Chain A
Amino acid sequence: MATSLNADEIAGALATLDIHDYGDVLQCMRCGSCLPHCPTYRTDGIETQSPRGRVAMIKAVIDRRLQASEEFVEHMYHCLDCRNCQTVCPAGVKVGELVLEARHRIEEHTPQPLLKRFMLGSAIRDQKRLSRYLTPLRAYQLTGLQKVVRRSHILKWISSDLEFMEALLPTLPSRPLAETIPDVIPAVGKEKGRIGFFLGCAMNLVFAEVSRDTIAVLTRSGYTVVVPKGQQCCGTPNIAEGERKVYREMAEHNVALFEDRDVDAIVCDCAACGMELKAYRETLAPVHRVAHRAEAFSAKIRDVSEFLVAALGPEITFGTIAEKVCFHDPCHLRHGQKLVTPQRELLRRIPGVVFSDIPDEGQCCGSAGIYNITHRGRAMRILEAKVEAIDKTAADRVVTSNPGCFLQLDYARKHWNREWSLSHISQLLRSSLERGETMQ
C-alpha cells in the first residue's frame, strides 16, 4: 500500500488509460447487475464496495471530480480481483482488470515500502531462493516446535494476525518439487504427445505432492511431461500489487523457457497461474520483441481440468469413489478463465461420485492471494458464507484446483470443525485412475 500519495500525478496517470480501457469505464451502465455477485458488496452492503462503485470512483478520478486520496487507494485494494463481476456484466466491462490498472498507476507514482519491493522484485523471482527463505519454517515444523506453539496459542499474545497466518500454514515438503523431479517424465504406454508443465510457486514449494499427482495423471493419460528447470513466478502477485516491471521480465523469461521445448500444450494445476499465463498475450502485447511469442505461449496454456477432459480418452478406466462431491471453483478458473464445465465433467466421470453444485454461482472463498491476511475481517466473513453454501450440498468432499483456495478452505474446515475432506482435483483423479488400473 502507498505510503505517501501524489494525488495529482495519480489522477494524471489514470487519465492516460487508453481508449479501450476508458471506453470500458464509460461502458458501465450502472445497472447494478454486479452487486449481488460481488463478494465485498455481499459482506459490506455499500456501493463503495461494489464493482459499479469502483468504476464510478475511477471515472471520477479521471474526470477530476474525486481526489486520488488515501481513501480512493484503499478502495482500489478492497477488491478481491475475483472477476465475478466480469462474468455477469451485461455491458462487458472488465472491472477487475480496471482496478488492477488503477493499482498499477497508483503504485507507479507512489514510493513503495522496502519489504514489498524486495518481495515482488527479488524474493519470488527465483524459486530456489524462495525455497531457501522457507528453511526456518520447515525447521519449525520438523522440530515439533509448531505443535508446541499451536497448543499454547502463544502467538495470540503477540498478534492475532500472526496466529492466523500460522494456522493457515500447511506442512511444507522437505524439498520443493522442482528439485526432486526430472526435466522430462515419459508418458505411460503409447505416447500421444508432449506437453509442458508450469510449476507454480505455491504448488512447487507447498503442494509438491499435489503437482506430483497432476504429473502422474498427465503421463497416465498418454502424454510425456516436460518441466523446464528455472521457471519463474507467473507474476500474479506483482500484477495484484500494481507492479509491472519485474512482472514483464519474469513473463518474458517464462515465454522463452518453454519456447525452446517442443510442446503442444502447457498445463498448469494452479488456477491463478493459469489465468495469468493466458493473459501474457495481453500484458506483453506492448513489448514489441515478445508480443508474438507471448501470443503463441498463451494459446498453449491449459488448466489441468481443461486439458484432461479431452486427454483422458475412453481407453482410461476410472475407479469407483463413492462420495458426494462438490467443486469449489477458484475465481481465477471460473471467472478468470471462464472454465466451468471441464472440472464438473471430469468429476462426473468417476463412478460412484455424486456431484452437486455449491449454490452460490461461484462465490470467492476470500483467499484471493494475500487478501485473507491484508483484509482478514472481511475475508473471514466471505469464507463463512462460502462454508455455509458448501454445507448446503452435504458433500463428503470438497474439490478445488488452486493452492490459495485450498489453504483457505483447509483453514475453514479445521476452524469450524467440518466433516468434509478436501482435495485438489488432481489428487482425486489420480486415486480414481489407480483404482481403475487395479480393477483391470
Chain B
Amino acid sequence: MTSSLARKLEELVGRGKVFSSDSELLCYSYDATPLVSHRPEAVVRVTSEQDIAAVLELAAQEGLPVTPRGSGTGLSGGSVPVKGGIVLLTTAMNRIIEIDADDLSVTVEPGVITADLHAAVEELGLFYPPDPGSMKISTIGGNVAENAGGLRGLKYGITGDYLLSLDLFLIDGSKVHYGTKCVKDVAGYNLTKFLAGSEGTIGFFSKIVLKLIPKPRTKKTFLALYDDILDAARTVSALIARRIIPSTLELMDSVTINCVEDHVHIGLPRDVAALLLIETDGHPEVVKEEAAGIEAACTASRVRTLRIAKDAKESEELFTARRNALTSLARVKPTTILEDVTVPRPRIPEMMETIREAAAKFSLRIGTFGHAGDGNLHPTCLTDERDRDEIHRVEQAYDMIFQRAISLGGTISGEHGTGITKSKYLPQLVGPKAIEVMKRIKAAFDPEGRLNPGKIFPEPME
C-alpha cells in the first residue's frame, strides 16, 4: 500500500529510502517522550545532501510539514511529527568525515551516534565531552538540535559549547553554511551557536564541525552517602567555595536510592537520605589536590560514609548506582515521566523541598536524581498512563515544580528542550516580548511554519 506521496518521494530519492506502511508510520509516530505521538504521512531516510534538497523541495510544493529525526531518544517530543507530513531521518547519514588532530576538530554527518564519536576521537587521545544519558543511541544531529548536556556539563559545558560550524538546509531546500573551524570567529551574527538548541525548527543539518580537547589523563571517583539531603546540597556549595569544579557531581534522593536497591542490590543503606557521585579528572597532580579538597568538603558537610575508588574498576562500580537510577525508577510503574528543571546551584535545597511537597500534595511517587553540580534535576514521576486521574495530578505537580523553578531564577528545561511538553511554560519563563522575537526569528527562516511545527511555541487556543 503506497500512498501517492510515498510514490513521488520514491521517484526522487529511490526505493528503500521511503517508508509509508501502517506499521512504519506507527513506528515513527513517537520518540522517548511519554504520552505524545502522531503519525507522519511518510518517512524518508536520506543518504545524501541531494536527497535532503529533493525532499524539502517536494514538501514545499505540496505545502507539507517536515520533521527531522535522529534516533528518536528525545524527551520533549522534538521529533514527533505532531502535524503529520514527512519525517526526515538522519540515521543513514552517519559518516565521521574527518578528525582533524592538528586543529582539534571533528567533522561529522548528523546521523553519527554520539558514543561512536567518543570512541573514534578517544582512540587518538582526544576528547568530546558532552555525554547525554542516551549517548549510546542518540545522534550528534539530535544533540545539536536539543543542545544536549550530560554528566560532564558542569566542568566541560554542553553540546553548543563545542559547535564550530554547520551546513544547514533551509525549509525551501536551499543550503547555507555557517561558521568556520576557528575557535575565534566573530564575523556577522553567530548563527552557528543560535542553531544549537533550535530543536529542528530552523533548518536541517547536513554537516557538523565540533571542537575537541585533549583527553584528561586521569580521574578519581567518590561516592558520598548522607543522612540529610541538605548536607549533600551543602557539599555542592562547599566544593564551589573551595574553587573545585568536579567533572561529575551527581545527586540521588532516597526514593531513587531505594528503587535502585530494590532492583540491583548493590548494598546501599536503605535509610540514606541522599548520595552524591563525585569525580575529578585531569592532570594527576591536579586530581590529587582536588581529591583532597573533595574529601574535606564532604567531611565538613557531615557525610555519613565516603567511598573512594582505588582504580578504574572500582570507579566503575561507584557509578553503578547512578547509572541504574532511571532504570530502577522505570521498573516501578508502567509510565515514567521525567523532567529536567534547572536552578542556580545554591537553590537546589529549595527546589528539592518543592519537589517533595508536590509529591505529598498530589499523592505521587517522585524520585529525583540529577546533575547537582549544574543545578539540573530530574524529578521523575512514577505513574500509569491508564490512570487518568493520576496523570492529571502529575500535570499539576509539574506545574508547581516548574513555577517554583522559574521563581528561583531557574529554567524549565536544562537539557531536554522545550518541544511539545514544556511549551506552555515558556512564555512564563521568558515573557511575551521574547516569545514575539523568537517567533519573528522563526518566521525569517520558515515563513510558512512547516519545519517541525508544534514545537517550542505554545499553540494558540482554538
Task: Point out residues on A near B: beta carbons under 8 Å.
Answer: 23, 26-27, 29-33, 35-36, 45-48, 50, 52-53, 56-57, 60, 65-67, 69, 71-72, 75, 90-92
Do B34 and A46 have beta carbons less than 8 Å apart? no
* Alpha-carbon distance between A67 and B19 when the two chains are bound, in angstroms: 17
Contact partners of B254 in chain A: CB under 8 A? none
B18-77 contacts to A, CB under 8 A, are 19, 21-24, 26-28, 30-34, 45, 71-73
Residues B27 and A48 in contact, CB atoms below 8 Å apart:
yes
| Residue B306 CB within 8 A of the other chain | no
Q: Are A69 and B113 in contact (CB under 8 A)?
A: no
* Known A32-B71, A50-B27, A91-B331; further 13 A-B contacts with Cβ < 8 A: A26-B334, A30-B31, A30-B32, A32-B72, A35-B137, A45-B45, A45-B91, A48-B24, A48-B27, A60-B26, A90-B330, A92-B330, A92-B331
| B26 engages A65 (CB within 8 Å) | yes
Q: Are B27's CB and A71's CB within 8 A?
A: no
Q: Mark B326-361, 1 if CB is under 8 A from A, else 0.
A: 110011001110000000000000000000000000
Q: Is the CB of B72 within 8 A of A47?
A: yes
Q: Does B384 belong to the interface (CB within 8 Å)?
A: yes
Are A46 and B19 neighbours in the complex by a CB distance under 8 Å?
yes
Question: Do B27 and A47 touch (CB < 8 A)?
Answer: yes
With an 8 A cutoff between CB atoms, is B385 at the interface?
Answer: yes
Of chain A, the residue at the smallest CB distance from B337 is A29
> Which of B27, B32, B72, B330 is the most central at the interface, judged by chain A CB atoms within 10 Å of its CB?
B27
CB distance from B423 to the nearest CB of A (A): 20
What B residues does A31 contact at CB under 8 A? 32, 73, 134, 137
Distance to closest chain A CB from B115 (angstroms) = 8
- Inter-subunit contact B92/A90 (CB<8 Å): no
Partner of B21, one of A26, A30, A35, A71: A71
Inter-chain contacts of B336 with A (CB < 8 A)? 29, 91
- Known pairs A36-B136, A36-B137, A48-B27; A26 contacts B384 (CB<8 A): yes
Contact call A67/B22, Cβ cutoff below 8 A: yes
In the complex, which range does the number of interface residues on chain B fall in?
20 to 34
Q: Which 3 A-B pairs have the closest CB atoms?
A: A47-B27, A90-B327, A26-B334
Q: Most B CB atoms within 10 A — which of A31, A48, A72, A91? A: A31
Bound-state CA distance A67–B45 (Å) is 25
Across the interface, do B137 and A56 meet the contact criterion of CB distance under 8 Å?
no
Residues of B within 8 A of A23 (CB): 334
* B30 and A30 form a contact (CB under 8 A): yes
* Closest residue on chain B to residue A88 by CB atoms: B136
Query: How distant is A59 from chain B, measured CB to nearest CB, in Å?
Result: 9
Q: Which residues of B contact A75 (CB under 8 A)?
A: 23
CB contacts under 8 Å to A, within B265-294, are: none
A residues near B136, Cβ cutoff 8 Å = 33, 36
CB distance from B421 to the nearest CB of A (A): 14
28 A-B pairs, CB-CB below 8 angstroms?
A23-B334, A26-B334, A26-B384, A26-B385, A26-B386, A30-B32, A31-B32, A31-B137, A32-B31, A33-B136, A36-B113, A36-B136, A45-B45, A45-B92, A47-B24, A47-B72, A48-B23, A48-B24, A52-B27, A53-B23, A56-B27, A56-B30, A57-B23, A66-B23, A75-B23, A90-B330, A91-B327, A91-B330
Tell me, rounded to whole Å, the shortest Cβ–Cβ distance linking A41 to chain B. Answer: 10
Shortest Cβ distance from B323 into A: residue: A90
C-alpha spacing A300/B395, complex, angstroms: 49
Which residues of chain A come closer than 8 Å to B386, judged between CB atoms? Answer: 26
* A32 with B23: CB separation less than 8 A: no
Q: Separation in Å of the B309 CB from the closest CB of chain A? A: 22
Q: How far is the CA of A67 from the CA of B25 in the complex (A)?
A: 13
Cα–Cα, bound, A72→B32 (Å): 22
Q: How far is the CB of B388 from chain A (nearest CB, A)?
A: 14
Residues of A within 8 A of B45 (CB): 45-46
* Interface pair B27/A69, CB less than 8 Å apart: no
CB pair A29–B330 under 8 Å, yes or no, is yes
| Contacts of B369-401 to chain A: CB distance below 8 A | 384-386
Contact indicator B137/A29 (Cβ below 8 Å): no
Provide the residues of chain A in CB contact with B30, threshold 8 Å: 30, 56
Closest to B327 in A: A90
A54 nearest CB neighbor, chain B only: B27
Partner of B26 from the list A33, A56, A91 (CB cut-off 8 Å) is A56
A27 and B330 contacting across the interface, CB-CB below 8 Å: yes
Residues of B within 8 A of A35 (CB): 71, 137
User: What is the minimal beta-carbon distance from A294 to any residue of chain B, in angstroms?
Assistant: 26
Residue of A with least CB distance to B334:
A26
CB distance from B1 to the nearest CB of A (A): 9
CB distance from A94 to the nearest CB of B (A): 12
Assess the A90–B326 pair: CB atoms within 8 A.
yes
Across the interface, A71 reaches (CB within 8 A) one of B23, B32, B134, B327, namely: B23
Q: Which B residues lie within 8 Å of A27 (CB)? A: 330-331, 334
Interface flags for B106-138 (1: CB within 8 Å of A; 0: not) read 000000010000000000000000000010110
